[in-house]
Amino acid sequence: MGGTGCDEKRRSLCRILSKYRVNFLSIQETKMNLSDHFRLKSLWGNFSFAYSESLATGRSGGIISMWDPQAFVMSTCFNFDQFVVVKGKWVAYNCECYMVNIYAPQGETGKVELWNELMEFMRVNIGNYMLCGDFNSVRSAEERMGTIFSVSNANHFNDFISRANLIDLAMGRHKFTRLSKDDLKASRLDRFLVNQGFMDSIKDLVLEALDDIVSDHRPLLLKQKSLDFGPIPFKFFNSWLRVEGFDEFIKQKWDNMEATESTNAFVILKNKLKSLKVELKNWKKERSLNRNKDHITNDIAGIDRQINSQGGNNLDMVNRRMALLHELQEFNFRTNMDLKQKAKVKWAVEGDENSKFFHSIIKAKRRSGYLTGARFSLDKTNVKTLASTEAVSLETPFSVDEIKNAIWSCGGNKAPGPDGFLSL
């Protein structure tokens, strides 16, 4: 990375971590002589991380591995001058492995010693391995451009990979990982090596050299191949009811839908709701393309530029700007409505799970409803009981009016069904 002291580098890296939702980060050449928790926080974006590091010697070197404790649970770590090993378990895959972060030296003798040291560590500690970092070596002449290719260096590196039974993952997007400022020199010095056990535990791995430029090395991203889980489930949002013309749109589509051959009223209703979902999806997509928040803010900025150049005496521009501000306020209000509705969905999905989200909600409710002390006295002689007519009414079958009143009194966010429609 060429040092973590640059604010722009840290911000760039933080954006990459947020964009790709990285759970494990390996950095080489940190140039950090002392541990700095707040600097690491600016790299990761928050304090929800754990780390293991090998500090720099002088003004060069330094390795650090950072990870999300919710995704990767560390059991132990080993810190050496040229590499850091974190042993732990990937929770999602129930896979225990050794995550090795490597920063190889420049000299050939130092590299050979490093390969032997890694071989000895892997021989003593049997398990699933993933090695990544700056190996300062290439495997063939095709992995260098504009620089001298060392045959002995490549032979030693290839011999290490062969003896350790490692797999060199193919890299996509770009051919080289290190580029000179003038783009005349390039090499593939960074890579991911895994053994067969790791490949069997976490399948469909894809390695990419990202377009983002953080230093003279391109960041590498190892991820699982995207899986197609089918179309996104439909969900009706109450904010749509505030959109002008929405009621007329629904009425028109509903009236124009052809009735099915079935005479069953429930089947007819089901089919019409199914067709309505398709129309609503298309309506939402077209609406977001035709008019979104960026369009509104750009229009406001354009009017502001005209007012600044022509003066604020143009009443039409002022009225247009007020209308746009009102439109933006309405857009933000509908967005907040959607967020509240999605929060209820999150509780429906994760509320009953033994998760961090569940416990945070329960603790908050417990604090709000906490009683410092209470005392009760119960006199059995004064306990009220139901009359015989009231007891009989509890077992009376529900009437149609009672069912309608119960359903009609539900809130707009209540009882979302599997079809995506709420109890409107």
Q: Judge contact between 103 and 79, C-beta under 8 A.
A: no
Residue recorded with tokens 């960041």: 219
The per-residue pLDDT for range 44-77, each reduced to its tens digit, is 878 888 888 888 777 777 888 989 888 899 999 9
Q: Judge contact between 197 and 129, C-beta under 8 A.
A: yes
Q: Which of 69, 73, 135, 75 has its CA nearest to residue 101?
A: 135
Where do the structural domains in the chain lie, given as residue ranges? 7-224
Q: Judge contact between 175 and 188, C-beta under 8 A.
A: yes
Q: Judge contact between 187 and 209, C-beta under 8 A.
A: no
Q: How far apart are CA 70 and CA 272, in angstroms?
A: 44
CATH number for region 7-224 = 3.60.10.10
pLDDT value, residue 412 = 63
CA max distance for the chain? 99
Q: Which of 197, 142, 150 has its CA nearest to residue 175?
A: 142
The per-residue pLDDT for range 149-193, each reduced to its tens digit, is 888 889 999 999 999 999 998 888 888 888 777 667 888 888 899
Q: How far apart are CA 68 and CA 23, in angstroms?
A: 5
Q: What is the mean pLDDT of residues 317-339?
A: 85
pLDDT value, residue 263 = 77
Q: How far apart are CA 176 and CA 266, in angstroms?
A: 61
Q: Is the pTM of this model over 0.85?
A: no
pLDDT value, residue 158 = 92
The per-residue pLDDT for range 329-347, each reduced to its tens digit, is 888 888 888 877 777 665 5
Tokens of 397: 């079958």
Task: Count CB neighbours of 215 within 10 A.
Answer: 17
* Helix or strand (DSSP H, E) at 171: strand 171-172
Q: Judge contact between 138 and 153, C-beta under 8 A.
A: yes
Strand pairing partners for 49?
none
CA 158, chain centre distance (Å): 36
